[in-house]
Amino acid sequence: MDALPPALVDQIKAGKVNLNDPATTLALLKINAVVGVTGFFNNDGSLKTIGLQCAVCHSTVDDAFSPGIGHRLDGWANRDLNVGAIVALAPNLKVIADLLRVDTATVKKALMSWGPGRFDAELDKDGKAFRPDGKQAGTIIPNAFGLAGVNLHTWTGAWGTVTYWNAYVANTELKGKGVFYDPRLNDPKKYPVAARSGAWNVRNTPDLVTSKLAALHFYQLAIPAPKPPDGSFNKDAAARGQMLFSGKARCASCHVPPLYVEPGWPLHTGKEIGIDDFQANRAPDNRYRTAPLRGLWTRLKGPGFYHDGRFKDLTAVVDHYKSTFRLNLTDQEIADLVEFLKSL
């Protein structure tokens, strides 16, 4: 909203701007008002090409002006963004179909299965478009704040730290012109698509990515987890929940305060946390990462909890652990624990 000229603000308030019109999108791109998207224009004003940044998925706005228009919030996952639906609109999906060795109808089916707030960053490496049970294989776009002191960046294990994932996404997902190397992806059994495509060893001259990685890393680590709004949780219940978190509920055995993740190597098998191992087995270490909990309240609006959103709310998450670890928690204790999680 800070990039909008006063005249345009007045027009939007008066309902005179059709925000669904592509011409409006072009006008907004020209004034650099679209978070995470840069438009490059020809001399006649026509759009030449588009550039995407980390922010297209890992930043949003606070809706201070209206839904979808506000002050920029860096590091907040854009969980309104339907990446799959946008990609499915591409006029030519044959390049993806050929890469995956399927037809375009299958590509569209996979893309449309993700839904808002999800993305599958392994699809172009292992070709697994769906889970064995037929459900979508994408994961929830993660927040990019509160990562200082946290080892490993993604939902699943041992891909690498924040800066590894920056290079992975910049080169293999956003198709930036840089250098990326990970020989683990040169595995024709586990990562057949990456082994065929050479995505494990990307070399571009000139390298336009690597020089940006250090500064990007510093910036990401400097983004603190946002504090929950006043009145968004019950303080008395949260205080009781904090005692349960470090005591009876045993949450702190993995989510160690004040990082709320395990210092060191925070990885667990699906069996250890009571779920299937499909997504874990797509990762090099075949494990799930213990998720840091700071800013957990930002996920309350959806699309759910855990890597794929399988639990609709925090109560469902606590119920899962109550069952898995046979915790003797009362309904009141579960409610108190949820209030503490909302306070982080």
CATH of the domain at 268: 1.10.760.10
Would you state the structure tokens that stand for residue 76, as one six-digit string?
């907040």
For residue 96, the model assigns a pLDDT of: 95
Residue 198 covered by a domain: no
Residue 262 covered by a domain: yes
For residue 270, the model assigns a pLDDT of: 96
For residue 192, the model assigns a pLDDT of: 98
Domain that holds residue 39: 6-74
From 74, 92, 127, the end of a domain falls on 74
- Report the number of distinct structural domains present in the chain: 2
> Residues 314, 305: contact at Cβ < 8 Å?
yes
Residue 26 covered by a domain: yes
Residue 55 covered by a domain: yes
From 74, 95, 119, the end of a domain falls on 74
Contacts of 38 (CB under 8 A, 6+ apart): 29, 32, 50, 51, 52, 53
User: What is the number of H-type helices and E-type strands within the chain?
Assistant: 14, 10
Residue 183 covered by a domain: no
Q: List, in sequence order, every residue forming a beta bridge with 156; answer none if it has no partner.
A: 288
Residue 139 covered by a domain: no
From 21, 48, 74, the end of a domain falls on 74
Residue 260 covered by a domain: yes
> Residues 271, 301: contact at Cβ < 8 Å?
no
In the predicted model, residues of the chain with pLDDT beneath 50 are none
Residue 324 covered by a domain: yes
